[in-house]
Amino acid sequence: MRFRPLHDRVVVKRTDQEEKTAGGIIIPDTAKEKPMEGEVIAVGPGARGEDGKLHALDVKAGDRVLFGKWSGTEVKLDGDELLIMKESDIMGVLEGKAGKAAKKGKKAA
């Protein structure tokens, strides 16, 4: 089934969280927090401004994004757990491999 979000809504699939800490401790499923990082699956056409014109979204399908802990509405489509949220709930786009490199830099500090 295909799903097309309306207006300024975005469909995001959460990325899997690592199951071990930096020290090698395995985190059980019951203790894991839901990740606040995901991949954009689909975007709506955009929001209408006060002038009536359609303003395109800044994110696109395939972008890796960070969003708030309680952002969006969880839905299940074709067995996949997805989030539908407004673009304003997205805090930023992770570009390139900087996201992983920044994490490694923090651990070393």
pLDDT tens digits for 15-33?
A: 876 565 566 666 665 555 5
CA distance 86 to 73: 10
CATH topology of domain 9-108: 10 Kd Chaperonin, Protein Cpn10; Chain O (2.30.33)
> Whole-prediction pTM value?
0.68
CA distance 28 to 84: 27
Q: Per-residue pLDDT for the chain (109 aa), expressed as one digit of tens each?
A: 678 888 889 999 988 765 655 666 666 655 555 668 889 999 999 888 888 888 888 889 999 999 988 888 898 888 888 999 998 889 989 887 644 444 444 444 3
Handedness of CA 43, 92, 65, 11 (dihedral sign): negative
